[in-house]
A and B are shown apart, each in its own frame.
Chain A
Amino acid sequence: MTETFVLRSGRFRMEREADWKRLERLLERAENSGAGSLSDDELMAMPKLYRAALSSLSVARAISLDQALVGYLESLCARAYFFVYGARGRLSKRIGQFFRTDWPLAVQRLLPDILVAVAATILSAVAAYVLVVNDPDWFLSFVPEGLAGGRTPSASREFLRETLFDDSAMRNELSVFATYLFTHNASVSILAFAVGFAFGIPSMLLMALNGCMLGAFWALFGMHDLSVEFGGWLLIHGVTELMAIALAGGAGLHVGRAIAFPGQRTRLDAAAEAGRSAARVMVGVLIMLFIAGILEGVGRQVITSTVARYSIAAGTLLLWLVYFFMPRRAEATHV
C-alpha cells in the first residue's frame, strides 16, 4: 500500500476506483450506441459492477466526507440503475406480447367506459337523426360545410347515390385521401383521449359531436331512401373506425374518472394506473385507425356492392369482438 492515502476513505477510494471507471466507460458506450454495442462479457459484468458501485456508495456515505466522491458515486449509480433496471427485453417479443395480451386485456378493463362512449355516440346520433328528419335545416348545424362536400339536404338523390358508389372525384388522390383520413382520425382520437384529463367530460362531448354527425348523414340519406346503401358505404370501414373512436373516448373517460373518483388509492396513483391502461388501448386505437384508413381509402373504392360491403363490415365486427373478448390468461408483465 502506498503512503499517498493516509485517510481511510482515501484508501477505500483507491482500491475501488478502477471498477467505477470501468462501469462508467461501459455506461458511456451503452448510452451512446445502445446495449447492442456491448459484448456478452460486458453485459454480464454490468450488473456486478453496478452492485459493487452501489455498495461503494453506501460505504462512502458512511465513512467519507468527500462531497465530490459521494456525488460522483450517486450519479454513477443512478445512471447504472436506469440501465440495469430499464432493460426491457427484445422489441419483437414486446410487440408480440402487446398484441397477445396487453392490448385486449386493457380493452377489457376499460369496457365500462367504452360502453358509455358508445352510448353517448348512439344517443346523439339518434337525436340528430330525429332533428334532421323533422327539419332538414338542422343538418348544417351538425355537419361543417367543408366535410359535407355538397351532400346537403338540397342535393338530389342521384348525386347522393353517386357519392356512395363512385368517388371518382377523389379517386385520383386516393392514396393522399387515405393518408389524410388516417392522420386526421388519429389526431382526433389522441385528442379525445387527452382531453379526458378534464374529468372525462370533453371526451364525451367529442363522442356526442361524432354521433351527431353520423345521425345527420344517416337522416340525409334516409330521406332519400338510401339508408341501406349508406349503411354499407359507412360500415365497411366504419365498424373499425367507429370502434376505434369509441375506444379513444372510453380511454379519455377512464382517465378522467380515475382523476375525479380515485377511490381508495391516492389521486396520483389512480391517475397513473388509469393513464397507463388507457395508453395501451390508445396504441391499439392508432393501429385500428390505420386499418380503417386502408379499408376506407382502398377497400371502399374497389368494393361497390352493398352486400359485399355489409359482409366485410360484419366480418370485421366479429373479428374485433372475438379478438378483444376471447378468454385468455394474463401475463405477469406488461410492455
Chain B
Amino acid sequence: MSRAPATKSPAPNRSTPLDETRRFSRSLVTPEGVDLGVRIATAGERAGAFLIDAVFMVIAMIVLTILALFAGVRNTQSFDIVAIIWLVGFFVLRNFYFFIFELGARAATPGKRILKIRVASRGGGVLKADAIFARNAMREIEVFLPMSMMAANADSVDGWISLAGFIWTTVFIFFPLFNRDRLRAGDIIAGTWVVQTPRRALLSDLAARPDLPRFESRFTIEQLDAYGIKELHVLENVLRQNLPDSIGLVADRIRRKIGWRKDPNEYDGVFLRDYYAALRKHLESKLLMGQRRADKHHGAKR
C-alpha cells in the first residue's frame, strides 16, 4: 500500500487547506511510471453518496411495488405475479444495485457519480468483477443486517441483544473513520478504495499576456526573489477566485513586502496580475536551471 510522502509543515498546529489536500492524496503510479496522485474520497462524500443511493433504491422500490400491483390488478386470476415481481425486484435491488453500477465503465453508482467519486483497485490495477462483488456483499452486514435487526427489534428482543446489535452497527458504520484510507469492511476484503474523480476544466493561463516583456522589467530581481512557489500558488488562487476584498488585502501585503510604491492610478488587480506573471516567469526559469524554490523561506538571507 502506498503512503503519501510525510508532510513537514512549518506550522504543525495549524491545519492549512494545503495540508488537508495532502492528507487525502495517495500515489497511483501508472504502468508508464507516472504518479497520478489521486485523492481518496472523504467520509462525508462516502456517506453522502450512500444516502443518495439509498433514496434512489427506495424510489425504485416504490415504483416497483406500484407496477407489481398494477400488473396484479389487470391479471386478476393470479396474484402470484405481484409477489414474484416484488420478491425478485427487492432481491436484485438489495444485492445487485451497487454491483451492476460499479461494474460499468465509471465504476460508480449514481450517488457516487453525483459526488464525483469512483471505486478503484487499491494501488492500481484493473478493478475486477470479483472485487466489486466482494465489497458490496459486505453491505449485507454493514447495512441490511442492522436494519432488519432494528425492524425485528421493536418488541421481542431483550436488551443485551439490542446492545450487541447496536455495537455491531456502530463498529461497521464508523469503520472508515478509523483508518487513513477511509476503507469500509467491504473495501478491505475487496482490495478497493474510493477515489475522487474531479472533472477540471482547462482554465486560462494567467501569465499568457502579450505585454509580458514590457512590464517584466518593472520588478527588480530582489522583488521577484521575495517569494517562492508556494506563495505563487496562493496568488494564483486569489486571482482566480477574484474577490475584491482579498485582492486588495494581498496586493497591500505584497507591496509592503517588496517595497513597492503604489501609483495612485494603479489598480490592485492589475498590479497582482503583473506581479504574478513576472514572478512565474522568474520562478519557471529558475526551475529550468534546476532550482526549485519551494517557498519564501527557501534559501533566503543569502
Contacts and interface: CB of A to CB of B under 8 A. Distances in A.
Interface of A: 3-10, 13, 17, 20-21, 30-31, 34-35, 51, 54-55, 57-58, 62-69, 71-72, 74-79, 81-83, 85-86, 88, 94, 102, 173, 175-176, 179-180, 182-183, 186-187, 190-191, 193-195, 197, 255, 259, 266, 268-269, 271-280, 282-283, 334-335
Interface in B27-67: 28, 30-32, 34, 36-38
A-B interface, 6 closest residue pairs, ranked by CB to CB distance from nearest:
A272-B191, A275-B189, A279-B134, A183-B91, A279-B130, A68-B203
A7 B34 contact: no
Interface residues of B, number: 76
B114 to A, nearest CB: 14
Interface string B178-209: 00000001001111000101111111011111
Contacts of B189: 197, 255, 259, 271-272, 274-275, 278
5 contacts: A7-B284, A74-B36, A75-B200, A269-B191, A272-B131
Contact of A77 (B36, B104, B130, B283): B36
Contacts of B122: 268, 272
Nearest to B283: A65
Contacts, number: 216
| Interface-central residue, B122, B130, B281, by most chain A CB under 10 Å | B130
A79 B197 CA distance: 7
B115 interface: no
Contacts of B236: 66-68
A57 B34 contact: yes
Given A4-B210, A82-B118, A71 B134 contact: no
Interface of B: 1, 28, 30-32, 34, 36-38, 80, 83-84, 87-88, 90-91, 94-95, 104-107, 118, 120, 122, 124-131, 133-134, 137-141, 145, 185, 188-191, 195, 197-203, 205-210, 212-213, 229, 232-233, 236-237, 240, 277, 280-281, 283-285, 287-288
Contacts of B213: 6
A194 B130 contact: no
Do most interface residues of chain A lie in helix, strand or loop, or is the interface mixed?
helix
B127 A62 contact: no
| Interface-central residue, B105, B133, B134, B240, by most chain A CB under 10 Å | B134
B202 A17 contact: yes
B197 A75 contact: yes
Given A54-B30, A75-B198, A279-B137, A82 B120 contact: yes
B150 to A, nearest CB: 16
Contacts of B131: 272, 275-276, 279
A6 B203 contact: no
Contacts of A255: 189
B137 A194 contact: yes
B80 A175 contact: yes
